[in-house]
Amino acid sequence: MNEHKAAVIAFGGNALMGEDGNSSYAEQMDKTDLMCNKLLSLFDMGYKILITHGNGPQVGNFLMQQESSAENIPPMPLDACNAMTQGQIGYMIEQKLRNIFTKNNINKPIIVFITQVVVAEDDPAFDNPTKFIGPFFNKENSDKLSRDEGWLMREDSGRGYRRIVASPKPVDIIEKEEIADMAQKDFVVIACGGGGIPVVKDKNGSLKGVPAVIDKDFAAEMIGNYIGAELLLLITPVDKVAINFGTPEQQSLSKITLEEAEQYYKEGHFPPGSMGPKMQAAIQFLHSGGKKAIITSLECIESAIKGQAGTQIIRCN
C-alpha cells in the first residue's frame, strides 16, 4: 500500500456502550453512527482506512444470554460468540458508513471480513486471564457470580467488577492476504473485529476455535503493519493516556516519543487489562515501521488526527 497512506482505526467495544456496559441495540447504533461520522476527517486527508473494533462488553453480554437459557438451548462456545459479535458489530459499522457515504456523496466500496486470528495453544495467557468482558458489577454481585457461576472476576480501573477471560497474543491472521488485497483496491475494510476469532492451527494446518478473547489493539497493530499503515488510531474511554493514574501525581500525556512510551510502560504505569495492551500495541507498531500512534477518545478523534488532542506517540527516526 505505497501509493496512498493508510490508517488503522481500532475502537473498543466499550465505545458503543454505556458506562455500566449495558446499552440497547439502538443506543449502540447511535454511537456507531457518531464514530463513523468522526472518521470523515481521515477520508478528507486521503487515508486508506482499515477499521477494527473490540467486543468485550458485547461478547460478555452474549455469553450471559447463552448461559441464562442453557437448560433449554445448548450454549455456544466463546469462539462462536466472538464470531457472532464480530459479524454484528461489522454489520453496524458497514451500514452506518454506507449511509454516511450516501449522504456525503462519497463513492467508496466497503467490505467486512469475518476474521480468524491464530494464537499459540501454549500461550501463558490461558493460565492467567486478564481480558475484561461483559458489564460491570458491584462487589456483592461479583462475589455471587464467582461463587455461583465460577466466573473469574476482577476490578476494572475502579469502575466496578467484570468477568475476565484469557487473552492470548495474536500469532497470525488467516485472512491477511485477502484483507490487504481489498485495502490495496481502496476498499474501506472492516476486519479483525473483537481482535479476531481465536483459533489454533495443528501440524497439518487445520484450524480449531479456542475459548479466549484476543485484544483488538494487538490484532490492529499486526494487520496495520502487514498492510504498511503509517497511522494507528486507538480509541479509548479517555481523551489522553495518563501516568500515575488515580494518584495525586496523575499526569496526562499529550505528545511522547517511542522511547518515552517504552520507559513509562517498563515503570508499570499501564495495567495489563486496560491501557497496557494499547501502549504495547502502539510501541510494537512504531518499532515495525509505523510513523505515529494516537490514543484518544471517540469525541476527540477529529482533533487528535490534526495533532491537537489525544496522546500522540511518535517515532523520532
In the residue annotation, 14 being an active-site residue is answered as yes
User: What is the distance between the alpha carbons of residues 278 and 208, in angstroms, rounded to a whole number?
Assistant: 27
In the residue annotation, 96 being an active-site residue is answered as no
Contact 133, 127 (CB under 8 A): no
User: What is the distance between the alpha carbons of residues 209 and 79, in angstroms, rounded to a whole number?
Assistant: 6
Read off the amino acid at residue 100. I
Neighbours of 46 (CB within 10 A): 9
- First-to-last alpha carbon distance for the chain, in angstroms, is 21
In the residue annotation, 306 being an active-site residue is answered as no
Question: Which positions ≥6 away from 306 have C-beta within 8 Å?
Answer: 41
Question: Which positions ≥6 away from 202 have C-beta within 8 Å?
Answer: 208
Q: Which of 14, 55, 61, 225 is catalytic?
A: 14
Q: Which of 38, 48, 278, 292 is catalytic?
A: 278
In the residue annotation, 204 being an active-site residue is answered as no
Q: Which of 13, 60, 90, 195 is catalytic?
A: 13
Q: Which of 31, 48, 131, 176 is catalytic?
A: 131
In the residue annotation, 131 being an active-site residue is answered as yes
Q: Which of 31, 48, 216, 240 is catalytic?
A: 216
| Active site members | 13-14, 131, 216, 278
